[in-house]
């Protein structure tokens, strides 16, 4: 079921109805009138409501949810360890790719990092696809090339929709990206002053203002931009939103040096630091919580500590009471009972000449620290990324302004887990993939990456072109290969998938258009240049199965059987396959099985195959394409 319909179904099942699509198949859809009735006066028609609008916003939303006749085709030649890797490198326009990943990766991605074009006046972006009404028709046709694909055009600031086009571009993609974030996931978006304020408002709408985590400020150009007027700008931003803010807990590990500075005391139980036990600031006065105001007694010679009524007037003890501010009585953060049960963790130290009560916090309890909102130049400086790429490519500057590996690693480190999927759908030189591999090799993690990049052509006068790279995907893939070769015991492979038209022929030809040749074409429903692997991946997309799982190819009696994710889906797309092959496949008890029309020599063979599965593997979902 479509994920949007599933969501509505969960909350308002009465709105979900069954109807038929144009092929007559049953499908779920929404009775909007019923939904309207349920929402009642919570529906607003007020044109003056607080919201962020721009020219083309509605079209961008429609565009995001418009269905496409496309697929992802595996490319074995440019992949590395195709069968076993759990990483993906996807080539194509990210809007289409995000659409195709909606089901397979619904709520499966824990961290998305993107570095979209900043809209500096020279960026190339895909223009919004406007509705084909009469006024905009002329403009709209200019947005598509001769193959019906949207054109990749320079967005110059003389364009009257300069900001609107950028907003539409990012809005449609973020709408789709949000669906992919897991409930404990977060998205990080690099940006600068050109679009930061617009992006913030769009993110507030798409992710919800309450899920805003931070607007990181990055010291990306410590020497300041040379070309700026009035102010020499040193910083850029990275906006971060959680899918659900209460589900995330960002912490980063302290370095060895930070740890030894922080846990500078030690006792028989290990290194510790002293944390005050009196409450400061709001809620810290005696009258705020009177039960937490009581005396504690300390013997400086024996170091013995007695809590409140434990003290019976023994000699050598001094009385300590909590103060909020000078002359204002305060309160402790621990109760009497807690202090008694945690007595070994109590310590009294002299602070500014006065004895004060603290607790020991041991290094063994260290969980990490909250990340700061300002990111230093040592990881944020733009130059670092450039130098890294130059080093990888034998001194050639094949990519402009990549991020540094440590910059992306910094965000990956916010997440305590080390086994999750990271996605970057403006992946450029694939710094994010590099960072994932590097961090995995450092901490033995099992993070996986999904890179998406348009095969944007390298101009002939560019260093990239002169170094033999025709498009940016070639640079990204080569970087992963080269960077990966430095790491051992990690998954440094990647499965390349390329966006293309669907594997299926267009069979919706009107009788007038039907020529003898076309009729011949229609006999086979699958395009002649498509391989069994192409068909497998389109099935995975249709069935909403993740695309980065293990694949095994098995030969049985001359037929090739594709076994995806240990029996999650088994397929054979050979022609006229034998009964024993079908039985062999059924003996594996797969969750799903797929054949193509031509797999069977006749209708009765097809029916027999279904019967074989019913008999030997009754729970298998059976499909013929």
Ligand X SMILES: C[S@@+](CC[C@H](N)C(=O)[O-])C[C@H]1O[C@@H](n2cnc3c(N)ncnc32)[C@H](O)[C@@H]1O
If one asks whether residue 171 binds ligand X (CB under 6 A), the answer comes out as no
In this structure, the number of other CB atoms found within 10 A of the CB of residue 253 comes to: 14
Question: Among 35-43, 60-68, 127-135, 453-461, which window interacts with ligand X (CB under 6 A)?
Answer: 453-461
Please name every residue paired with 559 in a beta bridge, in sequence order, or none if there are none: 556
Q: What is the DSSP string of 204-222?
A: IIIIIGGGEEEEEEEE--T
Contacts of residue 203, defined as CB under 8 A and 6 or more positions apart, other chains included, come to 174, 189, 212, 239, 241
Residues 22 to 61 in contact with ligand X, rule: CB under 6 A? none
Residue 172 or 345 having the CB closest to ligand X: 172
Contacts of residue 490, defined as CB under 8 A and 6 or more positions apart, other chains included, come to 437, 440, 441, 484
Residue 375 or 452 having the CB closest to ligand X: 452
Please name every residue paired with 217 in a beta bridge, in sequence order, or none if there are none: 237, 374
Residue 93 or 406 having the CB closest to ligand X: 93
Smallest separation, CB 35 to ligand X (Å): 33
Per-residue DSSP letter, 351: E
Packing angle, helices 405-412 and 431-443, rounded to 10: 60
Task: Write down how long the chain is.
Answer: 625
Residue 94 or 194 having the CB closest to ligand X: 94
If one asks whether residue 546 binds ligand X (CB under 6 A), the answer comes out as no
Among 89, 317, 334, 399, binds ligand X (CB under 6 A): 399
Among 89, 105, 126, 263, binds ligand X (CB under 6 A): 126
Smallest separation, CB 86 to ligand X (Å): 22
Among 108, 117, 501, 521, binds ligand X (CB under 6 A): 117
Smallest separation, CB 116 to ligand X (Å): 6
Question: Among 344-352, 395-403, 460-468, 573-581, which window interacts with ligand X (CB under 6 A)?
Answer: 395-403
Residue 117 or 208 having the CB closest to ligand X: 117
Give me the 464-493 binding string for ligand X, x by CB under 6 A, dash otherwise: --------x---------------------
Cβ burial 534-553 (10 Å sphere, 16+ → b, else e)? bbbbbbbbebebbbbbebee
Whole-angstrom Cα distance, residue 563 to residue 551? 6
If one asks whether residue 93 binds ligand X (CB under 6 A), the answer comes out as yes
Q: Is 427 helix (H, G, I), strand (E, B) or coil?
A: coil
Give the count of residues interacting with ligand X (CB under 6 A).
Answer: 19
Residue 63 or 298 having the CB closest to ligand X: 63
If one asks whether residue 431 binds ligand X (CB under 6 A), the answer comes out as yes
In this structure, the number of other CB atoms found within 10 A of the CB of residue 472 comes to: 22
Cα angle vertex 105, ends 104, 111, to 5°?
Answer: 165
CA distances from 20 to 16, 23, 25, 624 (A): 13, 8, 5, 20
If one asks whether residue 180 binds ligand X (CB under 6 A), the answer comes out as no
If one asks whether residue 429 binds ligand X (CB under 6 A), the answer comes out as yes
Smallest separation, CB 449 to ligand X (Å): 13
If one asks whether residue 452 binds ligand X (CB under 6 A), the answer comes out as yes
If one asks whether residue 402 binds ligand X (CB under 6 A), the answer comes out as yes
If one asks whether residue 403 binds ligand X (CB under 6 A), the answer comes out as yes
The answer to whether 238 and 196 are in contact (CB under 8 A) is: no
Q: What share of the chain is helix, strand, coil (3-state, %, to 5)?
A: 35, 25, 40
Give me the 334-373 binding string for ligand X, x by CB under 6 A, dash otherwise: ----------------------------------------
Smallest separation, CB 33 to ligand X (Å): 37
Smallest separation, CB 117 to ligand X (Å): 6
Measure the CA dihedral 256/258/262/264, to 10°: 50
Residue 454 or 540 having the CB closest to ligand X: 454
End-to-end CA distance of the chain: 19
If one asks whether residue 449 binds ligand X (CB under 6 A), the answer comes out as no
Among 185, 428, 484, 493, binds ligand X (CB under 6 A): 428
Residue 234 or 431 having the CB closest to ligand X: 431
Residue 457 or 549 having the CB closest to ligand X: 457
CA distances from 106 to 101, 179, 384, 453 (A): 8, 6, 34, 20
If one asks whether residue 115 binds ligand X (CB under 6 A), the answer comes out as yes
Whole-angstrom Cα distance, residue 250 to residue 414? 5
CA distances from 7 to 20, 25, 276, 376, 476 (A): 20, 22, 47, 41, 36
Residue 30 or 143 having the CB closest to ligand X: 143
If one asks whether residue 127 binds ligand X (CB under 6 A), the answer comes out as no
If one asks whether residue 453 binds ligand X (CB under 6 A), the answer comes out as yes
If one asks whether residue 388 binds ligand X (CB under 6 A), the answer comes out as no
Residue 456 or 574 having the CB closest to ligand X: 456
- Residues near ligand X (CB under 6 A) are 93-94, 115, 117, 125-126, 385, 399, 402-403, 426, 428-429, 431, 452-454, 456, 472
């Amino acid at each position: 079921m479509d994920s949007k319909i599933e969501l509505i179904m969960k909350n308002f099942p009465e709105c979900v109805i069954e109807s038929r699509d144009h092929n007559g198949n049953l499908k779920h859809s929404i009775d909007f009138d019923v939904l309207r009735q349920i929402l009642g006066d919570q529906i607003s028609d007020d044109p003056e409501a607080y919201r962020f609008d721009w020219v083309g916003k509605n079209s961008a939303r429609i565009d995001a949810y418009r269905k496409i006749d496309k697929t992802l085709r595996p490319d074995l030649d440019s992949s590395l360890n195709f069968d076993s890797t759990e990483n993906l490198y996807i080539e194509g326009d990210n809007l289409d790719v995000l659409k195709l990943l909606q089901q397979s990766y619904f709520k499966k991605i824990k961290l998305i990092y993107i570095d979209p074009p900043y809209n500096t006046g020279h960026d190339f972006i895909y223009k919004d696809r406007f509705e084909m009404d009469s006024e905009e028709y002329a403009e709209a046709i200019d947005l598509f090339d001769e193959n019906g694909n949207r054109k990749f055009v320079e967005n110059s600031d003389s364009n009257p929709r300069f900001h609107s086009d950028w907003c539409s571009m990012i809005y449609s993609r973020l709408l789709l990206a949000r669906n992919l974030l897991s409930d404990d996931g977060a998205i990080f978006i690099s940006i600068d002053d050109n679009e930061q304020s617009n992006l913030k408002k769009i993110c507030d709408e798409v992710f919800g203002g309450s899920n805003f985590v931070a607007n990181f400020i990055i010291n990306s150009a410590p020497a300041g931009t040379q070309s700026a007027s009035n102010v020499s700008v040193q910083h850029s931003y990275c906006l971060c939103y959680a899918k659900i803010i209460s589900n995330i807990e960002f912490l980063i590990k302290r370095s060895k040096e930070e740890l030894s500075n922080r846990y500078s005391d030690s006792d028989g139980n290990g290194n510790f630091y002293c944390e005050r036990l009196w409450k400061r600031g709001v809620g810290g006065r005696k009258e705020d919580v009177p039960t937490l105001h009581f005396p504690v007694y300390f013997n400086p010679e024996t170091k013995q500590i007695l809590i409140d009524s434990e003290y019976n007037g023994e000699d050598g003890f001094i009385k300590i009471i909590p103060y909020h501010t000078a002359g204002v009585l305060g309160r402790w953060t621990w109760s009497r009972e807690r202090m008694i049960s945690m007595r070994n963790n109590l310590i009294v130290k002299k602070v500014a000449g006065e004895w004060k009560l603290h607790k020991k916090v041991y290094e063994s309890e260290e969980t990490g620290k909250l990340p700061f909102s300002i990111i230093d130049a040592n990881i944020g400086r733009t130059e670092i990324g450039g130098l890294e790429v130059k080093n990888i490519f034998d001194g050639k500057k094949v990519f402009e302004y990549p991020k540094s590996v440590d910059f992306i690693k910094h965000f990956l480190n916010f997440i305590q887990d080390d086994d999750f999927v990271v996605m970057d759908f403006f992946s450029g030189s694939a710094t994010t993939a590099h960072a994932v591999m590097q961090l995995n090799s450092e901490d033995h993690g099992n993070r996986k990456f999904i890179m998406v990049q348009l095969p944007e052509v390298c101009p002939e006068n560019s260093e990239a072109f002169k170094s033999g790279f025709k498009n940016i995907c070639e640079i990204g893939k080569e970087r992963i290969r080269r960077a990966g070769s430095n790491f051992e015991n990690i998954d440094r492979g990647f499965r390349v998938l390329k966006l293309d038209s669907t594997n299926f022929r267009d069979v919706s030809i009107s009788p007038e258009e039907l020529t003898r040749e076309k009729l011949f074409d229609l006999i086979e429903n699958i395009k002649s240049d498509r391989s069994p692997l192409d068909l497998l991946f389109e099935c995975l997309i249709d069935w909403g199965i993740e695309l980065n799982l293990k694949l095994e190819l098995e030969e049985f009696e001359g037929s090739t059987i594709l076994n995806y994710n240990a029996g999650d889906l088994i397929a054979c797309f050979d022609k006229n396959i034998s009964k024993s092959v079908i039985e062999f496949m059924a003996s594996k008890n797969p969750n799903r099985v797929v054949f193509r029309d031509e797999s069977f020599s006749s209708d009765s063979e097809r029916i027999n195959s279904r019967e074989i599965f019913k008999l030997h593997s009754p729970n298998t979902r059976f499909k013929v394409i």
